[in-house]
């Protein structure tokens, strides 16, 4: 019988550059937080469809990535509307490199009231000049969905899986003495055990990963 090979862990795969992997994991954690409830809007014409307005998406791009550009790859017409394909270039703060996501958006051409949307003879004046910017906006938001929940990726999805950082990867980024503290926190069986550790060390002054583990364990005991 062939012996089953042991698969490498994520931490082992990134062993040559564990610090960058840790930063990427922290970035993923940030990008997969829920957006502010007051930012979420309901589409006026599509029942039950939620979205983030473009100004909130642009705010997040500036706030998180500091540097980004929008490139229009192509545009055109399709049936009774127009489409735009964009590429959102952004500076990855974890790696310091420029990366990108692509997105596509479309918008129907407005026709005169009472006429069929397919009747292109009755297109309103200025319909094209309105449709292309709208399609571009939709394309930008479509590209930014790739970042994660914070940009509205899961607003209209069901049965989504909550993101949780790779514990072994986070632990691998710690120094030996920090790993010992990590194990102590992780081995806590009660809230009292956890509070005893908090009294011995200043948790808020520890590595971010330790802070995160402490908070998760505290939440775990609250729910039990």
Compute the chain's Rg from CA coordinates: 24
Hey, which bits of the chain come out as E strands? 41-42, 50-51, 68-78, 81-91, 98-108
For the chain, what is the domain count? 2
Tens digit of pLDDT at every position of the chain (224 positions): 556 666 556 556 565 566 788 888 889 989 999 999 999 999 988 888 999 999 999 999 999 999 999 999 999 998 889 999 999 999 999 999 999 999 999 999 888 887 776 777 778 888 889 999 999 999 999 999 999 999 999 999 988 888 877 777 777 778 888 888 888 888 899 888 888 888 777 776 777 778 878 888 888 887 66
What is the domain-level CATH number for residue 128? 3.30.390.80
Same-domain pairing of 87 and 130: yes
- Asked if residue 10 belongs to a domain, the reply is no
pTM across the whole model: 0.77
Same-domain pairing of 109 and 190: no
- CA–CA separation, 167 vs 79, rounded Å? 49
79: left (phi over 0), alpha (psi -120 to 50) or beta: left
Measured in whole angstroms, how far is the alpha carbon of residue 197 from the centre of its chain?
33
Domain that holds residue 43: 30-151
Same-domain pairing of 140 and 35: yes
């Amino acid at each position: 019988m062939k012996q089953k090979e042991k698969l490498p862990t994520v931490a082992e795969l990134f062993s040559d550059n564990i610090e960058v992997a840790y930063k990427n994991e922290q970035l993923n954690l940030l990008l997969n937080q829920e957006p502010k409830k007051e930012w979420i809007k309901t589409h006026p014409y599509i029942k039950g469809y939620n979205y983030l307005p473009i100004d909130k998406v642009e705010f997040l791009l500036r706030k998180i990535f500091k540097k980004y550009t929008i490139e229009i790859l192509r545009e055109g017409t399709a049936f009774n509307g127009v489409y735009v394909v964009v590429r959102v270039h952004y500076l990855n703060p974890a790696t310091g490199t420029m990366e990108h996501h692509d997105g596509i958006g479309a918008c129907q051409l407005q026709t005169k009231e009472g006429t069929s949307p397919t009747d292109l003879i009755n297109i309103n004046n200025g319909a094209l000049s309105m449709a292309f910017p709208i399609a571009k906006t939709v394309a930008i938001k479509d590209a930014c969905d790739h970042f994660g929940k914070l940009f509205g990726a899961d607003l209209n999805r069901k049965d989504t899986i909550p993101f949780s950082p790779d514990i072994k990867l986070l632990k691998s980024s710690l120094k030996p003495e920090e790993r010992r503290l990590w194990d102590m926190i992780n081995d806590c069986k009660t809230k009292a055990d956890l509070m005893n550790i908090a009294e011995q060390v200043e948790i808020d002054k520890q590595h971010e990963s330790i802070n995160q583990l402490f908070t998760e364990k505290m939440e775990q005991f609250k729910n039990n």
